[in-house]
Structure 1
Amino acid sequence: MAAKRIGFVQRRKAAGFTQESLAEFLGVERSTVGRWEGAETEPQAHIRPKLACALKVSAEELQSLLDDITITDTNPSDRMTYALENPTSADLVVVAYLHERLRQLDESYDQESSTSLLGTAGQLHGQVRYLRENAGNPRVRRALYEVEADSATFMGQLTWDVSQRRDHAASLAYFGEAVTAARHARDPSTESYATLRMSFVALYGQKNAAQGVTFAEQAAEVAKVVSPSLTGLSLLHIAEGHAMTGALKECEDALKKAEAQFDRVHPDDLAAPHYTVNEYNRLAGSCYLALDLPERAEPILRMPSRALVAKKKSQAIALGNLTLSLIRQGKLDEAAATMHRTIDAVELTRGGGGLNLAFTAGRELRQWRSEPWALEINDRLLALM
């Protein structure tokens, strides 16, 4: 498994050094610099101040460059196998490999069914935990905690999806593990996101709006110093919790606060993909639907239902809510067409949120069950079961 510190190499070149000239400046062999860049070794403590000065970075920035390891060969390697057999030998290259595998799985989330991902994700999560529990190097252990926080969050999502949002206990256990691991890694963004996922379970699974708001408030509090994106997303779910209890003013206050977070998003906010105008519209529309204001929900939901083509699970939720807003306004022709689009999206991924909304819409169409168009929809819903 080949690896490279690409950021370190780029910083060396930007500072005007070749491997040979940097080695000469530091009084080391050129091969030593090569091993640093190949993630085989790290600079010893006594040489780091001079190295940081040469690269024109702070000590903290130098450490970040050394921690940023890219796997250049994604095939499983003897190094990974050896680490699983001898877990105290795990190093940052092994951590980078695990992180890359998790990234690949996460990228598949919106395109594949959660059932198809669960086995591989569970195996990876087990490897991460095993290596973290036995890691001999404190820095490696902390880096493994970072991966564990992400993999536990992912497992919580998959478990809840596969159970069609019924297995709350298992999902909450994974999210709780993610929060604990994120705190060990001192990663408030991941801690906030895992806490927010706990809010989802309370809001959509347990139907406990008050608990959902509490979790979302905790997520917003953790995120506020590091991530406007996660702060905004948390505020959207606070709004949704208030909408579920019919509290229009509190809901709209939270929506306004969430919208204000758009202006604070910055390039270093790693959570920015989670909080977009499409997510804002999807959740704002859901709020007005919960408040029994389908005429206000409909135009808001039309935007994300078109824009979220690449995120089929999110699109299915937006389409399901749009269907409900149309049914509740008596726009049956449009509702039927949108219902078919909802089922199309659900068939691709079988995401729990979209699946549940499809069946909710199906129940609301029962009063027209003798109509041919309603019978066709019912047949498709039966096939989903």
Structure 2
Amino acid sequence: MAARRRLITRRRDLGLSQEDIAASLGVERSTVGRWDSGETAPALWLRPRLAKLLEITRTELGDMIAEADDDRPAATGWPDLAENDDMALYRRDLLRMISLAGALLALPAVEDDLADTDEVAGYVRLNSHLWQTFALTSAKATMRAVVCEQLRMLTASLSQRHGPATRRRLCALAGDLFQLAGEIHFDASDYTAAAHCYTLAAEASEKAAAFDQWACALTRHAFISVYERKFTDAAPMLEAAAGLARRGDSQLSTRYWVAVVQAETFAGQGKLADCQRALGRAEGVLELHGPMHNGGWLRFDGSRLAEERGTCYATLGRLDLAEAALTDALRQDLSTRRRASVLTDLATIGAQRRDPDQVLVHAAPVLAQARATKSGVITSKLRGLQPQLAPLLANKQIARLNSDINGLVGASAAR
């Protein structure tokens, strides 16, 4: 690793030691040492202050930081923590951060706003980039490290004194990113950590008076109960989310996404008429024009209506209606997780019809995807199929499928 020679020279020319820099920025001396050696780079929120200490512009500091990057090998993707990290340690660190962030959200704003607008804009860009990467990658767990680092930066920034406008922006950014952290944990079937993240996302969004974002955080939290088939637990939270969405931006699709999740809740409770009414409300998204979502905490654009309708009808036992909707959904360009969900629902319909061939045709590619991506969401969908397989276990191929799902569930629990 090449040292950052210009950064070191500039510090020494000003008569500053590593200890001086560390004391001024509130970091460890060893951290400054790693910046000098090129092992790590200063966090985004520290760079404006570091540039002032070194009496240079931020652009000049950026060039000095980039010096060590010239000798680095090309990046191959985010570090894969799914296999290599100590999950117990990581989880404790996350919960400490959640606790700290929750306390910092209660701090009052100050009268004078001396915030660095470039710093806040940097957080906005990186949050957006992280959501885009999350949507594109099939192995969601690989993003834990970079999201956790960004959360540390935002949490540290929340500890600083800010005026009302900047404080609201930082709270909104924290609410945004804690939703993403929750999504990563939800995909890994770590529902407790996901719930903690969604709770803090809702609290931060409330502080920011960001009604749509707040509604989405509550909807994600409620979906944990929907996923665990605790439909009565989800209903009050979804009702609250619907109320918040009505106070939000009418040009966004928030209220329609809430309606879709409410439809799933009604289907789980066996309420066909209520489910159909909720689905009808959700179709209002098709009348929106222009930017209806932000591609981050809100991504609903109506393209999922067919698969959502199919899932609801499958839950209600209306197999013909469900199969027609799900088959229509398969004709669309679906993400890995969405396609796996649709195929699993079609396999469930096959099991309910006692048709082993239909089960195997649809379940086999889902099993392959679960193995390839290690997605807890896909594994959980397959686990939900298993009770439907019981009457078909005399079939050797169905029995092997059931055994393979058990192996996936065991591997997921061990991670």
1:177 Cα deviation from its structure 2 partner: 1.3
Q: Distance in 2 between matches of 1:276 and 1:141?
A: 30
Amino-acid identity (%): 18
Query: How many corresponding residue pairs?
Result: 304
Maintained 8 Å contact 1:84/1:127: no
Of 131, 136, 143, the match for 2:169: 143
CA contact (8 A) 1:179 1:194 kept: yes
Q: Answer whether contact 1:282 1:301 (CA < 8 A) is retained.
A: yes
2:238 to 216, 230, 237: 216
Structure 2 residue aligned with 1:361, among 385, 390, 399?
385
**Does the Cα contact within 8 Å between 2:310 and 2:322 map onto a contact in 1?**
yes
1:133 to 159, 166, 169: 159
Which secondary structure does the structure 2 equivalent of 1:108 belong to? helix
Query: What do residues 245-287 of structure 1 show as CA deviations (whole Å, max 9, x unaligned)?
Result: 1111111111112113321x23143358722343212221111
1:90 CA drift (Å): 5.7
C-alpha distance in 2 between matches for 1:174 and 1:117? 15
1:185 and 2:208 aligned: yes
Matched, 1:351 2:316: no
Deviation (angstroms), 1:120 = 2.0
Tell me the TM-score normalized by structure 1.
0.71
CA RMSD between the two structures? 2.8
Offset, 1:176: 1.8
Moved more, 246-255 or 216-225: 216-225
Please state if 1:234 is matched with 2:258: yes
Q: Which runs of 5+ in 2 are unaligned?
A: 1-39, 54-112
Distance verdict in 2 for CA 1:296–1:82, change over 3 Å? same
For residue 21 of structure 1, what is the aligned residue in structure 2?
Answer: none
Partner of 1:338: 362
Query: 1:278, 1:308 within 8 Å by CA — same for their partners in 2?
Result: no
Of 276, 282, 285, 1:252 maps to: 276
Which whole-Å CA distance do the structure 2 matches of 1:246 and 1:186 have between them? 35
Q: Mind listing any 5+ residue stretches in structure 1 that lack a counterpart?
A: 1-74
Give the Cα separation in 2 of the matches to 1:79 and 1:245. 48
Aligned to 1:373: 397
Q: Say if 1:229 and 1:262, in contact at 8 Å, map to a contact too.
A: no
Q: 2:125 aligns with which of 75, 86, 100?
A: 100
Deviation at 1:243, TM superposition (A): 0.9
Residue 7 of structure 2 aligns with which residue? none
Q: Cα distance 1:362–1:95, how it changes in 2: closer, same or farther (>3 A)?
A: same
What does residue 29 of structure 1 align with? Answer: none
Match of 1:113 among 136, 139, 145: 139
Of stretches 329-338 and 132-141 in structure 1, the one that deviates more from structure 2 is 132-141
> What CA distance in whole angstroms lies between the structure 2 residues aligned with 1:126 and 1:305?
40
Compare 371-380 and 195-204 and name the one that shifted more.
371-380
Report matched runs for 1:162-311 at 5 Å.
162=188, 164-165=189-190, 167-168=191-192, 170-205=193-228, 207-224=229-246, 225-227=248-250, 228-263=252-287, 265-271=288-294, 274-309=299-334, 311=335
Instruction: Give me the whole-angstrom Cα distance separating, in 2, the residues matched to 1:120 and 1:348.
Output: 22
Per-residue CA deviation, residues 147-199 of structure 1 (Å, 9 max, x unaligned), is 1011111111222222x25x33x322221211121122222221111111011
Deviation at 1:100, TM superposition (A): 2.3
Secondary structure at the residue paired with 1:134?
A: coil
Q: Which moved more, 1:194-203 or 1:130-139?
A: 130-139
Contact 2:293 2:301 in 1 (8 A): no
Is the 2:392–2:398 Cα contact (8 Å) retained in structure 1? yes
Q: Structure 1 residues 247 and 382, CA, compared in 2 at 3 Å: closer, same or farther?
A: closer
Question: SS at the partner of 2:162?
Answer: coil
2:187 to 139, 161, 166: 161
